């Protein structure tokens, strides 16, 4: 059996839904922004990095209707957050991975489970 077959099958299932041009930004934009601000954060008293992720990047509960590319970018972001936390743990940093919920926005659509106001309160 061709080991690439399952991946090919997964990606071809989304062939009618190409990745968004913003998909690389979901990962690389965060990495570049974090790297740019780290010198300032290291000088501060509240050493916190918050990364906006999604359960779409979770291996454990993959029920998302998002494109494969979006899910992969969020899984990569989750790993980046994990590695960043390990790299900065000796310097007193807290790295948080946040999932805002399926929010009724332009991206989340009308089927979203919560309103923006509820998402931003963190409840």
Phi and psi angles of residue 94, each rounded to the nearest 5 degrees, phi first: -115, 125
Residue 74 annotated as catalytic: yes
Place of tokens 């590695």: 83
Q: Which residues of 1-123 form beta strands (DSSP E)?
A: 48-52, 94-98
The verdict on whether 104 is a catalytic residue reads: no
Q: Which of 42, 47, 48, 74 is catalytic?
A: 74
Task: State phi, psi for 86 to the nearest 5 degrees.
Answer: -65, -40
Of the candidates 37, 49, 43, which has an alpha carbon nearest to the alpha carbon of residue 93?
Answer: 49
Distance from the first to the final alpha carbon of the chain: 47
Catalytic residue of the set 14, 47, 48, 70: 70
Q: What amino acid positions are annotated as catalytic residues?
A: 70, 74
């Amino acid at each position: 059996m061709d080991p690439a077959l399952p991946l090919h099958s997964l990606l071809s299932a989304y062939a009618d839904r190409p990745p968004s041009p913003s998909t690389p930004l979901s990962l690389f934009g965060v990495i570049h922004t974090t790297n740019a601000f780290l010198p300032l954060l290291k000088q501060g008293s509240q050493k916190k990095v918050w990364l906006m992720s999604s359960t779409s990047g979770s291996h454990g509960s993959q029920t998302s209707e998002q494109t494969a590319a979006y899910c992969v970018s969020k899984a990569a972001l989750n790993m980046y957050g994990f590695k960043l936390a390990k790299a900065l743990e000796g310097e007193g940093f807290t790295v948080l991975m946040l999932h805002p919920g399926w929010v009724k926005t332009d991206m989340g659509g009308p089927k979203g489970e919560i309103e923006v106001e509820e998402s931003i309160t963190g409840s």
